[in-house]
Structure 1
Amino acid sequence: MTASPLSGAVAHASPLGGEAELGRAEFDAIARIMLAESRVHLTAAKMTLVHSRLSRRLREHGLATFRDYVKLVETNPVERGEMVTALTTNHTHFFREVHHFDHLRETALPMLKDRARRGPVRIWSAACSSGEEIYTVAMCLLGTDRSHAGWLRGADVKLLATDISPPMVKATARGFYPAATAEAIPEPYRRAWMRPVQGGFEMVEEARSLVTARLLNLFADWPMRQQYDVIFCRNVMIYFEDDAKRELEMRLVDQLAPGGISISAIPNA
C-alpha cells in the first residue's frame, strides 16, 4: 500500500492492472454521501479504512478507479446501500459496558416486571450490530436460572433490534456466535440460554423468540408507533457529529414511554 505525501491519496495494487487510488476528491465525495445517507461522519483520518473496505466493491463491479465508483454510487441506490454497509463499523461484544446491564437488572427489571403485569413491555436496541447487545438484554431479563424466567411466560414482552446493515440484521436474527465471542458471556448465562453448535454457540429458542431484528436507518422515518420502556443506543453515537447526536437523542426521548429508561452512551470499550 502507498500514500502520496503531496495529495494524501491512498492506493494499492489493482487486479485490473496499475493501482486503484483513492484521491481526496473521491474520498470527500464518499464522505458526503455517507453523511447524507447515514449521518456517519468520515474524517480524512479514515481514508485508509475507506480505501480498504471499498476496494472489494470496485473489484466486484470491475471498476479501475474510485472516480468511476463514485459515479456508480451517485446513480445507483442499491450500491449506495452496499457502500454504507461496507463502511459501517460493527464492533461490539456481550455485556459491553457491564454497568449498564447492572443498572438494567437492578433498577429497570423491577419496573419492567411491574409493567408486564399490567400490559405490554417493549425494549429497543438501536444500532444493534450483530446482536450481542440485544441478547445481553434478553439474558438479563431471563436470569441465570430457567426457573427465574417465569415472569416472562404469558407476558407481552418484546425486544426490537435494528441496524442499518442487512448482514448485521441477519446475524442478529440467527443468534449464532463463535466460541471466542461467547467467552464474554458469564458462564451461568451461557449455560442457561445458549447451546453449543458446530463452530460456536447459538441462542436457544426461548431467548431468540423475544427478539425481532429489523433494518432501520436511525435518521430516516421510523415505522414504530408504540413507545419503548427501555431504549439502548450506545455503539453508534461515536460516529456522529454533535448536531446529529442531539437530533437522535431528541427522537429517542420522543419514542420513550413515560418513566422509561434510555441508555445512549458512547462505550469505552
Structure 2
Amino acid sequence: MLAKAQDKQREFAFSRSDFDRLRQMLYDAAGISLAEYKMDMVYSRLTRRLRDLKLSSFADYLSHLEAHQGELGNFINAMTTNLTAFFREPHHFDYLTNEYLPARQATGQQQIRVWSAGCSTGAEPYSIAIALRNHPDIDTRQWPISMIASDIDSNVLNVARAGVYDLPRIDGIDEALRKRWFLRGKGENAGMARVKPELQAMLDFRLINLTRPWQLNTRLELIFCRNVMIYFDPPTQCRILEGMADHLVEGGLLFVGHSESPTRVTDRFELIGKTIYRKR
C-alpha cells in the first residue's frame, strides 16, 4: 500500500519494471551497474527529460529511448555523476610535484603522456596540467607533455573544453596558482575565471565510453581514473584495468580513488603509494 501511495504522488508513472529496464540499458550502453536502491535517483534525474519530451510516463520514455538512438547520449548524461573539484585528493598532485617530476628529470625522460579518464567538467585534468607545469625548481615548459581528457558525458566535456568556471569553484586553489594559471573575467564575465590558453593547449578532450574500444593510438606514462571504477561491476572493472595496463608504458602509473583497489580484480598493477599503482 505504501509503494502505491508513493507512486500516486509522482508526476510520472514509474514502475519497478521500468527501473529494471533502464538499469539494463545503462549497463549495456555504458557498463554502469546501478544498485537496486537507486530507483528514486533515476526518477529524479530523468524527470526533466520526460518534461522536455512531453511524455507522460517512464514507459513512454523507454519506448522513445529505444526508437531514437540520439536520446541515448542524453540518457547517459543524466545518469552519470559529475562530482569534481580542483586538486581533489591532493596527495596525487603532491606526488607529481615532489617525486614524479624529479625522478623524470634525473633519468632525462621528459615526455609525459597522460590520460584523465572520467574528467568531468575539467577540474582534474587542469589540476594535473598545473602540477606538471608549476614545479618550483624544474622548468618543464619545453617538456613534451600532453593529455587526453575524456568522459562519457558530452555536456560536462563541453564545460571542460571551455575552461570557464565561476570564482567559487576555484576559491580552494592556492592564491599564487590562481594568479598564475587563471584569467579573471571582467565586465559581463565578472565573477568568472578562465584557464589560461597554455594549459588548454596541453589537453585533447574526447568523448570516450570506457566499455567500448578507446582508439587512443598512443602509450601513456600516467593514467588518472579516480572514482570511476566504483560504478562498474568486477568483470567490467577487470576489462577496463587490463586495457589501461596495455596502454601504459612499462612502469607507468595509475591513480585511482580512495575507495578503489585495482589489485582486487587484476594482477597487472602493484601499489606504490596512497592510491597510486605502477604497472608490473
Shared fold (TM-score, shorter chain, > 0.5):
yes
Which residue identity lines up with residue 203 of structure 1 in the other structure? Answer: V
Q: Is the 8 A contact 1:126 1:231 kept in 2?
A: yes
Does residue 227 (structure 1) correspond to residue 219 (structure 2)? The answer is: yes
Q: Is the 8 A contact 1:193 1:204 kept in 2?
A: yes
Instruction: Provide the aligned C-alpha RMSD in A.
Output: 2.2
Among residues 146, 163, 184, which one is paired with 2:172 in the alignment? 184
SS at match of 1:158: strand
Structure 1 residue ranges, 4+ long, deviating more than 6 angstroms after superposition: none
Among residues 120, 123, 140, which one is paired with 2:131 in the alignment? 140
1:103 is displaced (CA, Å) by 1.3
2:202 matched to which residue of 1? Answer: 210
1:243 matched to which residue of 2? Answer: 235
Measured at CA, do residues 35 and 181 of structure 1 come closer, stay the same or move farther in structure 2, by a change above 3 Å? same
- Matches for 1:41-190 after TM superposition, within 5 Å: 41-113=33-105, 120-143=111-134, 150-153=139-142, 155-190=143-178
Which residue identity lines up with residue 189 of structure 1 in the other structure? Answer: L
Among residues 30, 39, 47, which one is paired with 2:31 in the alignment? 39
1:127 is displaced (CA, Å) by 0.5
1:185 is displaced (CA, Å) by 1.2
1:267 is displaced (CA, Å) by 5.7
Q: Is the 8 A contact 1:21 1:65 kept in 2?
A: yes
Among residues 181, 191, 200, which one is paired with 1:193 in the alignment? 181
Which residue identity lines up with residue 36 of structure 2 in the other structure? Answer: A
Q: Deviations over 1:166-210 (max 9, x none)?
A: 111111111111111101212221111011112321111111111
Instruction: Return 5+ residue gaps in structure 2 as ranges.
Output: 261-280
CA distance in 2, matches of 1:168, 1:180: 18
Relative to the length of structure 1, the TM-score reads 0.88
1:16 matched to which residue of 2? Answer: none
SS at match of 1:152: coil
1:255 matched to which residue of 2? Answer: 247
1:159 is displaced (CA, Å) by 1.2
SS at match of 2:146: strand
Question: What is the percent sequence identity of the aligned residues?
Answer: 31
Does residue 6 (structure 1) correspond to residue 12 (structure 2)? The answer is: no
Q: Deviations over 1:58-97 (max 9, x none)?
A: 1111111100101111222111111011111100101111
SS at match of 2:157: helix
SS at match of 1:159: strand
Q: Deviations over 1:144-175 (max 9, x none)?
A: 66xx674223x321111000011111111111
Residues paired across the two proteins, number? 256
Q: Is the 8 A contact 1:179 1:201 kept in 2?
A: yes
Measured at CA, do residues 71 and 239 of structure 1 come closer, stay the same or move farther in structure 2, by a change above 3 Å? same
Does residue 264 (structure 1) correspond to residue 256 (structure 2)? The answer is: yes
Q: Is the 8 A contact 2:220 2:252 kept in 1?
A: yes
1:236 is displaced (CA, Å) by 1.2
Which residue identity lines up with residue 6 of structure 1 in the other structure? Answer: A
Instruction: Return 5+ residue gaps in structure 1 as ranges.
Output: 14-18
2:15 matched to which residue of 1? Answer: 23
Relative to the length of structure 2, the TM-score reads 0.84
Q: Deviations over 1:92-121 (max 9, x none)?
A: 101111111111212222244467x55642
